[in-house]
Chain A
Amino acid sequence: MNKRVQAWALIVAMTAFFTGPSRAEEDVSLLKDMTSVIALLGLPCGQVVSVKRLGDNDHIASCQDGNRYRVFLNPEGRVVAQKQ
């Protein structure tokens, strides 16, 4: 019984160890992506500090300077950043 508990503890620890960083990496890359998009569109922002996913290709990005933008892909295939 003791061995089983140990084995499970190891499995849980390993899972947390491997899935944790990849999730964080994904979040960081999305923040960078949103920061780049807003900068490319010439809008004031600084860095994006948080992103809320509204749907597929539709996000709300909150900036360091307090600005918030809805960044989405319109039907024409253009990325649009709408100030909220």
Chain B
Amino acid sequence: MSDSSVESRAEEKLMPVTRIFELLFVLLLTASCVWMERKPPQTGAPEGEAVAVEPSMSRPAGQSVPKTDSPDAKTLAKVSASPVPAEQTRKKENATPGLGKPGVPPLDLTALETRLKETKAIGVFTKITLKNQVDDLLDQFRAYYQGRSKISLAELRQSYDMLLLKVLSLLQDGDPSLARMVVASREAIWGILADPAKFATL
């Protein structure tokens, strides 16, 4: 018997084993892909958790949001503790109306802005559209404070709430933790917008 025939017989015997390995490999790949699809996006929040948005029109301007012991508050504190450049720190100091008061989560506009920019829950075109609408609202506030506008503060509040609801509807499924961060910052941001002195620092 020649060497080549021995080799080919050995290959024939090994063929089913290699097929099994190939099949196993493909099965493992499929399983890993299914697992990746099932993985919740970017957050530690439980799957399917809804973000509750309370109507805030009845709340007076500048009033704080009550403190919660949710994991989000811890996340917010962690984000606030992260090192930021000097200019950003100065901006942050100006934009922390609730700081120092007990029961008020600190507002970190820079962190919020960064997270909104980086979130994958909102597409690029949507982000640009939202930014356009935020700029429009800021222009309306500017006109209001300069006496160039007939819009009242109540109407501005309505526009602000509407814009925030749009942001929340976009975030609540894809990035629930960021949605909660926005909800928690809602009144603090309004506190800045509704105060001409604070608004001027923006």
Tell me whether A67 is interfacial, beta carbon within 8 Å: no
A40 touching B128 by the CB < 8 A rule? Answer: no
Q: Which A residues are in CB contact (< 8 Å) with B129? A: 36-37, 40-41, 79
Point out which of A40, A41, A71 has the most chain B C-beta atoms below 10 A from its C-beta.
Answer: A40
A36 touching B128 by the CB < 8 A rule? Answer: no
Tell me whether A10 is interfacial, beta carbon within 8 Å: yes
Shortest A16–chain B CB gap in Å is 12
Known contacts: A36-B170, A40-B133, A40-B166. The answer to whether A77 contacts B128 by CB under 8 A is yes
Shortest B53–chain A CB gap in Å is 17
CA distance A32 to B170 in the complex (A): 10
Tell me whether B122 is interfacial, beta carbon within 8 Å: yes
Tell me whether A29 is interfacial, beta carbon within 8 Å: yes
CA distance A57 to B123 in the complex (A): 12
User: How many contacting A-B pairs (Cβ < 8 A)?
Assistant: 43
Other-chain residue from A13, A33, A77 in contact with B125 (beta carbon distance below 8 A) = A33
CA distance A30 to B125 in the complex (A): 9
Known contacts: A10-B22, A17-B29, A40-B166. The answer to whether A33 contacts B130 by CB under 8 A is no
Size category of the binding interface on chain A? 20 to 34
Known contacts: A21-B33, A36-B170. The answer to whether A30 contacts B130 by CB under 8 A is no
Q: Which A residues are in CB contact (< 8 Å) with B132? A: 77-79
A40 touching B22 by the CB < 8 A rule? Answer: no
Residue in chain A with minimal CB distance to B163: A40
Residue in chain B with minimal CB distance to A61: B125
B128 touching A33 by the CB < 8 A rule? Answer: no
Q: Which A residues are in CB contact (< 8 Å) with B122? A: 36
Q: Which B residues are in CB contact (< 8 Å) with A21? A: 33
Please report which residues of chain B, range 77-132, place their CB below 8 angstroms from some CB of chain A when the two chains form the complex: 122-126, 128-130, 132
CA distance A18 to B38 in the complex (A): 17
Point out which of B33, B124, B125 has the most chain A C-beta atoms below 10 A from its C-beta.
Answer: B125
Please report which residues of chain A, range 59-84, place their CB below 8 angstroms from some CB of chain B when the two chains form the complex: 71, 73, 77-79
Q: Chain B interface (Cβ within 8 Å of chain A)? A: 22, 26, 29, 33, 122-126, 128-130, 132-133, 166, 170
Q: A40-B166, A77-B128 are in contact. List 6 more A-B contacts (CB 8 A).
A: A37-B123, A37-B126, A41-B129, A57-B125, A78-B128, A78-B132
Q: List 13 A-B contacts (CB under 8 A).
A: A17-B29, A17-B33, A29-B123, A30-B123, A32-B123, A36-B123, A37-B123, A37-B125, A40-B130, A73-B125, A77-B128, A79-B125, A79-B132
